[in-house]
Amino acid sequence: MDAIIKKLKTTVPADIAAAPAPSAPRPSREEAEAAVRTLLAFAGDDPGREGLLDTPKRVVSAYEEIYAGYRECPADILDRTFAETGGYDDLVLVRDIPFHSHCEHHMMPFYGKAHIAYTPVERVVGLSKLARLTDIFARRLQTQEHLTAQIAAAIDEILKPRGVAVMIEAEHTCMSVRGVAKHGATTFTSRFTGMFRDNPAEQARFLSMVRGPQR
106 in catalytic set:
yes
Q: Which of 73, 106, 169, 203 is catalytic?
A: 106
Q: Is 14 helix (H, G, I), strand (E, B) or coil?
A: helix
Cα–Cα distance, 113 to 20 (Å, whole number): 24
Per the annotation, the verdict on 174 as an active-site residue is: yes
Identify residue 87 by its one-letter amino acid code: G
User: Contact 171/149 with Cβ under 8 angstroms?
Assistant: no
Catalytic residue among 31, 105, 122, 145: 105
**Sequence-ordered list of residues with C-beta below 8 angstroms from that of 96, at least 6 positions apart, any chain:** 113, 115
Catalytic site residue 104? yes
Among 102, 144, 150, 157, the one annotated catalytic: 144
Verify whether residue 172 is a known catalytic residue.
yes
- Cα–Cα distance measured from residue 159 to residue 154, given in angstroms and rounded to the nearest whole number: 8
Which of 103, 146, 171, 203 does the annotation list as catalytic? 103
Catalytic-role residue among 30, 31, 64, 104: 104
Catalytic residue among 72, 115, 142, 172: 172
In residues, how long is the chain? 215
The residues assigned a catalytic role are 103-106, 144, 172, 174
